[in-house]
Structure 1
C-alpha cells in the first residue's frame, strides 16, 4: 500500500488544477520552520473539490516529511473521548498503540504534537457538538507553533470561531468556488482531452463543479469526444457507465457502508480486490480516500443509493444483512474504542431498518435533512416551538428558562433543523453528563439525577467531559406551522441526530413524563423504569427513566434483535474473543506453565498451563502453518523472549521501519488468535 499511496500522490499532483492561493497559503506554512499554530477552514458545496484540496495539502505535508493526521468526522464518535480515540487510532502507524502503555491522555497528546503537524478533520460538520470542546479545551493544550488544523466542511465557519478574539488572528476561512473557464480547459488538457470538445458547453453544463467535470472527463475518455450529445449532469447512470464492470460490486457496497477498508471490501466481495483493482478504484473521480480506506463522495453516494433502492430493493436488503452480520462479528472481537467506531458504522448502515408498522422512523433522505449548529438568532423560534407544544411539558415556564440558559452556557448542545428559508422547524438538546453539565442539571432539576443514578452520581459530579459515557437528552421540539414536513418526518430527524450521531459506545438517557413516544423508543431498544424517591410535589415524581445502552460487548446482538434478526450461532471456535492484551501478557510466560495457567488466555481457551505452553511453542518454534509467515513468527518469538518489547528494539531486530513493525504485529496477533482457537477447538 506504500507504493500505491506514492502513485496516487503523483497522480493527484498531476491532475490538480487551480486553488493557487489556497495551495500557496499551505506551502507558506509548511516551509516556515517557526510557523504559528493556525486553523485553515475550507468550506463549499458538495462536489466543489474540498476533499481534493485537502488531499493535496496532505501530500505536500508528507513531501516535507511532516506528520499529517487525518480524522473523518463521519465515523468519529461525536464525543470528546471518541475524538481522542480517533486521534490515537490515526497515529498508530507513527507511534504505535500508545494507549496500551502507562501514559495519560495528556502525555500521549504532547508526544504526538511535539513535531510539526497537520491535523485534518474532514466532514467537520458531522462533529459540531464537540466544536466548543475542540476550540476551548483540546486545541489550546497543543503547541503555539508548528500546528496547522485543517477543518473541511460543507457548512461555513461557525460564529463562535469568527467572534472568538483569541482565535480570530489564527483562523483563515476559505469558501471554495467552482472552476472558472480557464481552469476547466486546463483540467481537460491534463486529462488528455484536447480535440473536438466544446469547452463552452462543458463549462456551462458542469457549472465548473470539479466532480461533474471529472465525471464528464471520464465519460469522454471512454466514448471519444466525437460522440455527442453527452449527459454532463451528475447522475447514477453516468457514474455506473464510467466504472469498470469488475468494480460495480464495490460501488454497491460503498453505497451502504459510510466507508470501508481494503480488508473489509476483500471480505465482502465475491472477488477480492488485488492491487491493480485498488488502484483503479482510487482513480474513480467520485471515490474518495479516507483515513481508513475508501468512501463514495457524498453526492455520488446519494444518487447511487437512491437509484439502487429504486431498482433493486431486495439486493440492497441482502447486502445490508451481510454487512450487518460482519460488523456484529467484528464488534464482538474488538477493543472498546474500536467497538465505538464499529457501532457507529453499524447504526449508520442499518438506520432505515428502524420502523414502526413498516414505516421508517428515520427519513430515507436523512443525508439531506441534517441538523445544524445553534445560532443565537434561533432562540426566539425555539422558544415558540416549546410554547406551541406546552401540553407535553411538565412546566413550560421551567423549560423556557432551561433552554435560554442552555443557549448561553452550552450552545453547542443545541442542534437545529431549518427550512429552506432557514427558519427553525425542529431542535433537540442534551449533553454528556460530567462535572459542569451535572451541576447545570441539578440547578434546575434538583434530586433527579441522584435518584436516577444513585451509584454513579458522585462520579458524574467530578468526572471530566472526556470521561463521560452517558448522553442525557434534555429538550426537543418540532414546529406545527410547517406544511412541507410531517410531524413524524421531523421526529425522525431528531431521532437520527441522537441515535446515529451521539450513541455509539454510550448510554443514552431521557427522563420525562411524556408517554407519547414510548412505542418508538421501545422500537429503538430503550429500556424503561420509573423514577422513584422524589417528593410528591416534585414535578418529576412520576417520570419515567428511558435508557439505551450501547456500551456493552453484546451491542451487536442487541441491534440485530431490534430488526428481528439473530446473530448466527457459530459453531466455529473463532466465536470466542481473545483480546490483544491476553496474547501479549501470555507470550513472555511461555516457559512457565504454572504462571501461564493463571493468565487470561488460558482461561479463555480453557487450557491447562502445560497444554497452552505446548500449543504456543509449536506455533512459535514449529513448522509454519498458513497464514502464519516467517516474519510474523519471528516477531512472536521476540515478544515471548523480551518482556515489554518496545518498537525501537523490534525494528532493530527485524530490520524494518516503525510503520512496518506495527503492521506486522497487528497481523501476527490476529493470525495467532485464529490458530490458537482452531487448535483448541
Structure 2
C-alpha cells in the first residue's frame, strides 16, 4: 500500500502491506518454466489497494524480463479499436516494436504477444463486459503463447461469463483484497513519524482501510503533530467516491439508508426511503462493489457503512437522527422473530449505530473502536493456556479479576468454568484468532452452585431465597450467568487495555440479548460507575466477611424480562439524555405499543402499580377496565386475529397466573428458552394489535 502522495510522485517509496499472498503467487508463476496461461482477477472496494498491487506486479514482471503492458480500462476498454491501439502504443513506447506498413493490427499484436512470456495488466476493469464477447471469441484465441498472464483489477471481480467459459473458467485465480489487520495497520504506521499514541488512534479509527489510512497519515503529516487528532478529521473523500458509484440520486439515498441497517430486503429498505426503489433499482444497488447479498437482503461493507453514516451526520445532523431512529425501530421489531445468528448481527449493529452514546473514556472501557461481531466469541479448548496467562498477569497487577474470588483460587475457578460452563466464557481475539482478552462465569444451576459456594461464598447470599431454587435447577433450565473473572493481554501493543475491555463488554452484552440474565458484583468505584451506563440495574449490596473490605454492589442485566429495544433506550438515556435518539412519548395517544402491553401484563397481579402506568393515564383507562378487556380477549374462542390459541395460553401462563418461571414455562410448552422467548414476544405484539381494534 502506498500513501496518496506516491500516486503523483513515482519516485516516492512505496510500502507494500497486506499483499503477500498475491505476490507469492505471482512469483510462483514467473519462476515456473512450464507456467500455463492464467488470469488473475483482483477485486475489492475502492481504495483497498488494487492499483498498488498492479503497480507492484508490473515492476516485478518487468524485472523478470517478461513483456509487460499496462492498460487503463476507463479509456482503453471503450471499444476493440481503442484496446488494440493501446497495445500497439505500449509495444512501441516500452519495447521499440513497430508494425510494418500494410500488416493488419490484430495479427501483428497476436504474433508479438506470443513470442515470449507476456503479462497484460488491466486496471479499472469495470467496463470489461463491453468487450468480453470480442475478447473471448476474437482476441484471446489468437494468442499462441502458453505462458501468458492477464491481470484484471475491478471492484466487483470478473463478470459471470468468464467463470462459465469452457477454457478460462479453470484458469481464473480470484484475488479478493481484504482490509488491513490491526497489526498490518500499525506496521504501515511505524515509519509515519507519528507519535505512538497517535498511531494507535489512527489504526483504530481508520479500521484497516488502506487508502483511508494513507490519507489520514498525509493529513496529520501536513499539519504537524501539535494539532490534536479528532475523529472528524478523517477524510470524507472516500464517502463521496463510494456514493459516485451509485449513478442516480435514488441510489444515493438508498445507500445512505442502507448504511443504517445491518441488512435489508427491498421492502425493508423502502420503509426508510421517500421514493421507494423498484426491483430493477434494488438489483442495481446490489451490483455495487461494496454491497453484498445476504439471506436477510443487501448489506454494506462495514467500513463503507460507517463512513457514509459519519458523512451523513456531518452534512445533515437532524435528518440523520430522524432516519437513524426509524432504522432502529425497524431492526428492533425484527429482532425478536430472528434466529440467533441474525439477532447477534442486529445487536452488534445497534451498538455500532449508537457507539457515540457509549463512554469514550473510562478506566476499564473505551468504546471508540468499531465493533465487528463477525462470529460469536466462543471458547475453544486451545484458548485455555492464553487465558491462564492473562489471569496470571492480572493477578500480579491486582486488576481485572473478580473481587468475589480469592486470588489463590482464580486459576482453579477458570478451570472449573471451562469444564462445567464453557458457554459462560467470552473471548476477544486478534485477526489471526489468537485470544487477547476474556471474561468467564458460571451458568447458575444445581451443578455449578457448589463451586460458587466453594470459591465465591459471598455471592449466593446476595441472591437471597433464589439461591435455594438455583441449587435445585437443572442445567437445561439455566438462564442466569454470574461473571467471576476477566483479564486482557496487556503485553500486546495492538490494542489498549480499555479497548479490549470495551470489546469484551460489547460481546458479552450481545450474548446476553438472547434471553439471559447477567450478574456481576463489584466494589470497584470505576466499574460501578460504568455498569449503570450500560443498562445494568443495582440489585442489592453486601459487605464481605473480611475486615475492612469494601461493600460490594450486585448488578444485573436481565434480558429474560427486558426487551432489546427497552435496553437500548435505557442505555441512551443513561449515557446521553440530552441527545437521546428515541422519539418522545406522545401525550395524547390512541394506541397501545407492544412494550405498553408487556408492562400491563407484568403488573397484572398488582392493581395499584397497574393504575400508575403512563399508558393508562394517557388513554384515560382504569386498571379494572384494561383487566376486563384483556381477560375477555384471552378467553375468546376462537381468539381474535392475529392472536392464536397457543399465544393465548402462553400469555395466561406467563403473566396472569405467575406461578412458573420462564424456564419452567419453556419446558411446559416443549420449547427451548430462546424459542419460548421469541413466541411470547410475538404473542404480546399480537395482543397489542387486538387491543388497538385489529
TM-score, normalised via structure 2 length: 0.47
Greater radius of gyration (CA): 2
Task: For CA contacts below 8 A with separation 6 or more, give which structure has more relative contact order.
Answer: 1
TM-score, normalised via structure 1 length: 0.48
